[in-house]
Structure 1
Amino acid sequence: MTQAYVDQEATFVNRTSKGEAKEKAVVESPVTQRYFELDALRVIAFGVLIFYHIGMYYVLEWGWHIKSDVQFPLLQDVMILTNQWRMSLLFLISAMVFTVVLRRAYGQTTSRWRVSLSLLGKRALRILIPLVFGMFVIVAPQVYAEWTVSGALAMPFSEFYVAYINPNTDLFIDKQSVIGLLTWNHLWFLPYLFVYSAFILLFFPLIRFVEVRALRVLDSLALFSVLVVTIMTAIWLELRVAYPTSHDLLNDWYSHAKYFFVMLVGIVVALRPALYAAIMRSRYVSLTIAIVLYSVIILDRHDLLGPTGQLMESSPGFRVLVGVIVVLNHWAWLAAILGFGRKYLSHPSKVVSYLNKGVLPYYMVHQTIIVVAAFFLSSRVSSTLEEFILIMLITVVGCALTYEVAKRFLILRFLFGLKLNENYK
């Protein structure tokens, strides 16, 4: 969750009389510039995630930890708009910010392995400690609510919690892993991010070596997009069915291939300012492609495009076409978001600065608050609209209070992954 800084090799400010921005390259004399838009996009991405998980409580047919008695089929169409890119956006931004940190750190020392080990240690403290704390404390209430609602559990929370943290418990043997009932649930993003970060640290010197000699050819957005779509389509075709998303760190190979490749894409964008500038200039093209392909996906979900399911089974060529549509839609949304963010959000904001410091605590507690709030409100509120408004308010206020309390105590800063020496006023 490091602040977003980058070594720029190009400036993006050269205003015309009409207020339009043109790129002006400064290749030989890099300057350090803040990428304010990455802070803003991170805040927006986590905000989308919170409302997406509230939607999971109400959407028809999609399984979740707890479900409302009143469910809405058309909510699927709204949620599909974001569920193809919302987590990828977080990995993309994380990779761009991490690349910035690595370039700055490597530029200040000749002992790169020492820097790498130091950064890995800091990453562990700010990712793995919150993960362990979250598994033992934050996730437990939502597991209790889920199993109670399903009828599988009928005991006080205190009794359940003793079993939950006991790796040798006899409770729910069929639901246990090698560490018993402990689970990371929605916190799966944290171990994945740590593992990917460790690989990036290991291979970053090689990445920089390749950058100097080869990555300049990727400054062409068209060429870069073809390469991205081709590789991600291959991942989609080869791994999606064989390894469906499970959030099992050791066996989730489709997710690993997809998200780690997205992080590699983020690294390239951060290293190539000319490519980032091209993404900004092409933002409307990317948005148009994204909207058109999203519309195609929705039309197909409502069976308005013919027997596509049969063609998927019988025609390898059609499967490739579907893969290209899905993947291009995914990349077009990411490119559009990056482009519009670079154009309109690359300026300081006190609100963004405040929220950016608190995104990890917000992320850690939001789903538990949603599940527990829904658990208590479902039998106490008759109006679905009133229930939704209350869940939304409780979640937002609960996340804000968590951050406000956590930042005031050193031990809580440590447990929630906040910087210990940060000024949080």
Structure 2
Amino acid sequence: MLEIQDSRRYDVDWLRTLAFLLLILYHIGMYYVQDWGWHIKSEHTFAWLQELMILTNRWRMSLLFFISAMALSLVVKRYSNMTLLKLRTNRLLVPLIFGMFVIVFPQVYVEAISQNLITPGVLSFWLEYINPNTSLLRDHHSPIGLLTWNHLWFLPYLWVYSVIVILSHQVLDRFIASIGPRIPFAVMFGLLCLALIGCWYWLAQSYPVTHALVDDWYNHSKYFLVFITGYTFARVDTWWQYVIAKRSWLLGIALLGYSFIVADRNGGFPWLAAQYEDSFAVQMLYGIFFTANHWAWIFALIGFAGAYLTKPTPFLLYANKAILPWYMFHQTVIIVVAWNLKEFALPAAIEFPLILGSTVLTCLIGYEIVRRTPLTRWLFGLKQQNKRGF
């Protein structure tokens, strides 16, 4: 989420903005989707939402890591390592720490209230929430007590991956320059699928997803692979031009993978599913469909953005600055608004647009407030105001 200056790739800006806006819809969907756990759940849940949300949940966070790595790759030569580390820390860790103490807190409070785990009292609960030695809700503690980052988990992961790449980028850059242009995109795509299959096969069972950073080895293997790939991809112009030219083919592969996943979930291949546990070949077949789906969506979106989203607009220029505060605000607003609407027992057709509208409006107002003082700009990872204004 490091902003690109000067010769901007507006297609990267568009993808980053649209990917973060997708999170708003996705997290509202988590409130309504049937059988998937979340912080709170609506009285109205829908099984069909699973099929719709599976369209993106296999690759949406990977796309964010990929784009963030591309942005870093495009600016890394313009700054010293220390300057980049400072920029990334101010952009990621400061908002993370502030977000954990202030922005995420209402999510934890509402979740605890909804499960009748605590008695109402915002201030008293917050004092316990920030106390690492609290005895409240012991069963829900992490190593730092009740304090958590919830949806902000992306920020520490991105910071760690960025630090590794920044400190090693000179070696990485030489490797990319010597090897990258020699490898056809199709070969690279196949190698990426094999690498992701390996991550899934050897790590997914032993290290289920936690988003806790220190023990999340399957996620690290997947997302760091994506991050390194995004960093490399931005440097190999032949790959970039290839995915733009072949975007429709990549979309076809992505849709084929998605169709297989949905059909399998609904019993479309019972003879395959019956052999899954005992057959390595069947497991690899599933791995091919799942990983091709993952990578094809990422590259197809990059291809379509490179073909059609190459111009700035007033919305993009505004959103590119506002996207981090919007990301920080959105899930808390969704949970708080949804919880307060529960007492009205509204139909989902009315409740959903109210939650969506309230979230969008609060994010807009929140950014307008945040951007107006040096302190709040720093806490939300924004650049300090220059002489030309906001």
For the criterion TM > 0.5, the same-fold answer is: yes
* TM-score, reference length from structure 2: 0.97
Residue pair 1:281, 1:339 contacting (<8 A) in 2 also: yes
Asked which structure has the greater CA Rg, the reply is: 1
Which residue identity is paired with 1:67?
Answer: K
Matched position secondary structure for 2:7: strand
1:45 aligns with 2:50: no
Matched with 1:228 is: 192
Q: 1:200 aligns with which of 156, 165, 173?
A: 165
**In structure 1, distance between residues paired with 2:389 and 2:346:** 40
Contact 1:4–1:36 under 8 Å retained in 2? no
The superposition leaves residues 85-108 of structure 1 with CA deviations (integer Å, 9 ceiling, x where unpaired) of 111111000000001111233xxx
CA separation of 1:42 and 1:135: change in aligned 2, threshold 3 A: same
Change (3 A) 1:310 1:153: farther
Distance in 2, Cα, partners of 1:245 & 1:407:
35
Identity %: 42
SS for the counterpart of 2:206 is coil
* Matched position secondary structure for 1:216: helix
| Residue aligning to 1:28 | none
The whole-number CA distance in structure 2 between the counterparts of 1:194 and 1:88 is 15
Gap regions ≥5 residues in structure 2: none
* Residues 173 and 424 (structure 1), Cα distance of their counterparts in 2 relative to 1, 3 Å cut: farther
SS at match of 1:33: coil
1:12-161 equivalences in 2 (<5 Å) = 33-105=7-79, 115-161=80-126
**Cα deviation per residue 1:227-261 (whole Å; 9 max; x = unaligned)?**
11111111111111111111011000011111111
Work out which of the residue numbers 314, 318, 332 in structure 2 matches 1:368: 332
Higher RCO, 1 vs 2 (CA within 8 Å, ≥6 residues apart): 2
Q: Of the candidates 265, 286, 298, which is equivalent to residue 301 of structure 1?
A: 265
Residues 262-411 of structure 1: matches in 2 within 5 Å?
262-411=226-375
**Scaled by the length of structure 1, what TM-score is found?**
0.89
Count residues with an aligned counterpart.
389
If each structure's helix is expressed as a fraction of its own residues, which one has the higher value? 2
What residue identity is the alignment partner of 2:365? L
Q: Which amino acid aligns with 1:329?
A: N
Deviation of residue 2 (structure 1)? 2.6
Question: Which residues of 2 match residues 254-265 of structure 1 at below 5 A?
Answer: 254-265=218-229
Q: Provide the rounded CA distance (Å) in 2 between the counterparts of 1:318 and 1:301.
A: 15
CA distance in 1, matches of 2:226, 2:109: 34
Please report how far the alpha carbon of residue 159 of structure 1 lies from its aligned counterpart in structure 2 after TM superposition.
Answer: 1.2
Amino acid at match of 2:191: L
Q: Tell me the distance in 2 between the aligned counterparts of 1:306 and 1:63.
A: 26
Question: Partner amino acid for 1:65?
Answer: H
The answer as to 2:144 corresponding to 1:179 is yes
| Residue pair 2:193, 2:288 contacting (<8 A) in 1 also | yes
Distance 2:268 2:389 in 1: 52
Contact 1:407/1:424 (8 A) holds in 2 = no
Q: Within 2, Cα distance between the matches of 1:415 and 1:352?
A: 22
CA contact (8 A) 1:60 1:73 kept: yes
Hey, what's the Cα distance between the residues in 2 that align with 1:298 and 1:76?
9
The CA deviation at 1:307 is 4.0
What 5-or-longer segments of structure 1 have no aligned partner?
6-31, 106-114
- Work out the CA distance in 2 between the residues paired with 1:317 and 1:231: 17
Among residues 379, 384, 387, which one is paired with 1:420 in the alignment? 384
TM-aligned CA deviation for residue 197 of structure 1: 0.2
CA contact (8 A) 2:2 2:91 kept: no
